[in-house]
Amino acid sequence: MTVVGCSTATAQPTHLESDPYPFLTDNIENAKDGNEPYPFEKTTPNPETTSELEEFETVPSPSHDYGVVTGILLQPGDQEDPYLAEIFLGRAIEAQQPGYEPIVGFSREMDPKAVQDQETGEFYFSDILPGKYALIIWNPISSYIFKDENSGGFLFLDVEAGSTLNLGELRMP
């Protein structure tokens, strides 16, 4: 048996000086709003939307500076049974080059989490910053980003300050 290149020294990666991914990684603190291309402003968790599943209440009214998103999440097919899941809003990140679809940024710890009624499937997000979002259904094995039935692409939601966006009935595929 021949051993070639054997040494007790620890091998050092050769790409430490540069980032191997072609993403912008600096100036995250300098972004002003979600309508600008990535990087966007860092956010802090919202205790009202990231807490564990709360008891469903009446959908709150939007404040002057924030929006509300509501809907009903149901099982696939014609059943009226609710689909119980952790539902989040992921920020849509606009592409820097024309002709490219936005991507969805998502953090289970940081992004808004819905309050869902376990009997009906109704859900709401309160105190949502205005911007473009995607609806994400999360579970420990996989996540699902809701798709637009007409285009087949991601279903993007435009949340406006002082308004309620009602998504109606949504069925899991």
Q: For the segment 28-43, what is each residue's pLDDT rounded down to a tens digit?
A: 444 444 454 544 444 4
Which pLDDT does position 50 carry in this prediction? Answer: 37
Buried b (16+ CB within 10 A) or exposed e, 65-99: ebbbbbbbbbeeeeeeebbebbbbbbbbbbeeeee
What residue spans define the domains of the chain? 28-50+64-171
What is the pLDDT, as a whole number, of residue 70? 96
Kindly state the average pLDDT of the residues 147-160: 89
- Mean pLDDT across 42-47: 46
Q: What pLDDT is recorded for position 153?
A: 84
Interval 3-15 mean pLDDT: 42
pTM for the whole structure: 0.67
Q: Does the structure show a pLDDT above 60 at 45?
A: no
Q: Which CATH class is domain 28-50+64-171?
A: mainly beta
Please list the residues that pair with 70 across neighbouring strands.
124, 166
Per-residue pLDDT for 74 more than 60? yes
